[in-house]
Amino acid sequence: MEAFDVIVVGGRCAGSALAAYLARAGVRVCLLDKANFPSETPSTHVIQPRGVEILAELGVLEPVSARGAAQLTRFTLTYDDVRIDGDVDSSGSPGLNVRRTILDRQLQEAATRAGVDVRTGCRVTGVLMSCDRAVGVETADGPLSGGLVVGADGRGSVVAESVGAGKYLVKPPGRTPIWGYFAAGSQEPRLRVGIHGNRGLLASPTDSGLYMAGVTVDHQDARAFKRDRETNFRNALRVWPEVYDIVRGAEREGPLRVMANWHSYFRESAGPGWVLVGDAGQFKDFTPAQGIADALCQAKSLSKAILATSVSPTARDEALKRWWQDRDRKSYDMYWFALQMGRAGVASPLTTEVLRRVADDPSGATTLLQVLNRELPSSSLFTTRRLLAATYATLRKYPDHRRSTCTEISAAVGAEIEKRRARRLGIAG
């Protein structure tokens, strides 16, 4: 049986990045993925600046840029009648938008250059166990032995299922995304995110001269929307004329894509001989576009935890457990912020009034971008002063919404209590 120091299951953002970091340090790594690449996967495509910096470290930024990846230097958030504009690269790297068919392939090539044994089209069927410890994986091509098994295989993780990793803090989906790519040519490097009524928007240029335009619908309405997705998609885009004008005369590349089955969760992410990273270990609402940057940042921090441990399996197990706990502590704030951004229903008067005050603040756009890049907590936006002022304005301007406003305030307080409780109790481990 072939033996490796580390076996990584899942060869996309988290898995390829982790494998490359480990191999650079002299670790013998085998990277496995059932797909043959290039291969699509549901994704917002947007990479926050903190993730772009890791692509640069791995030597991937230059090749994806050469393939036409779009730098995003400007940002617009619209929420009902509120608009916030900002410069993404005002404090460092710009954002990036690139399709996964390009990004994942380039990350795998970086892993190969680092010395990783990359095997695509190789389906992992389970984890090999000995005395409750993961000691390798079973594949369709035969077993492989490994001192550590890493599950980087996404929401439907085979590794997680094989080791019995349970979920916690599970939350239902708020919205369903539908998106397409349009041959619109060169466009302004602006990321647009919006909510109008009960429709959402995520749009920006992407690689190869394409423009990515996506809308979101309440999850409960998705089935009806998909019955005539072409007409409903176009009608939804008309809510944002500046985006509709870009794509209405452009030829679309391929069909409209839909991510229908998802929910938010944390998973138990470390145990004897195994660890989970990326979407395998934690998945949040897609609205704030955090997934790719999270995967890359987790891969880097996990590589440090693995490399810092001694050859003792017990010491490594304890280090990986601490990494899992630290990942959770760093994830709670954005997890609830994402749930709030992606909630179903029409634009909330209370949230509208809070964001109106953010828009009126000269530093408001910069603060919002720093929250999205995880430089500041969401409380920097939803300050007590803004919440009190917004509550007063909402109750005064919308007297017919008193009950719904009080319900929303109660839900927001409950979410904050749940977030602080999770952080205090340390649910992980």
Decide if 213 contacts 246 (C-beta within 8 A). Answer: yes
Residues in the chain: 429
Q: Which domains, and CATH codes, for the chain?
A: 2-45+99-172+263-337 (3.50.50.60), 175-258 (3.30.9.100), 348-425 (no CATH)
Give the orientation angle of helix 349-360 with respect to helix 384-397, to 10 degrees.
120
So what's the pLDDT on residue 429? 53
Residue at token pair 């977030």: 419
What token pair was written down for 418?
């749940």
Instruction: Name the one residue in this structure whose structure tokens are 């410069």.
Output: 87
Q: What are 52-76's pLDDT values in tens digits? A: 999 999 999 999 999 999 999 999 9
pLDDT at 425: 59
Choose among 389, 395, 416: nearest CA to 349. 395
Residue 91 has pLDDT above 60, yes or no: no
What is the model's pTM? 0.93
Return d(Cα 58, Cα 198) in angstroms, integer: 40
pLDDT tens figures, 2-50 = 999 999 999 999 999 999 999 999 999 999 999 999 999 988 899 999 9
| Spatial distance between the Cα atoms of 271 and 133, rounded to a whole number of angstroms | 8
Tokens encoding 364: 């408001």
Query: For position 394, what pLDDT does the model report?
Result: 85
Residues 335-351: what's their mean pLDDT? 88
- Summary count for the chain: helices (H), strands (E): 14, 21
Query: From CA 377, how far away is CA 28, in angstroms rounded?
Result: 38
pLDDT score recorded for residue 310: 66
pLDDT attached to residue 90: 55
Residue 211: helix, strand or coil by DSSP? strand
Spell out the residues 6+ positions from residue 399 whose beta carbon is closer than 8 angstroms to its own.
none
Six-digit token string for 395: 């109750």
151 or 37, higher pLDDT: 151
Instruction: Quote the mean pLDDT of the chain.
Output: 92
Helix (H) or strand (E) holding 31: strand 29-33
Mean pLDDT over 370-396 rounds to 89
Interval 152-178 mean pLDDT: 96
Residue with tokens 């109660």: 410
C-beta of residue 4 within 8 angstroms of C-beta of residue 26:
no
Q: Are strands 175-182 and 252-258 parallel, antiparallel or unpaired?
A: antiparallel
Residue 404, burial from CB neighbour count under 10 angstroms (0-12, 13-18, 19+): middle
What average pLDDT does range 124-128 have in this prediction? 97
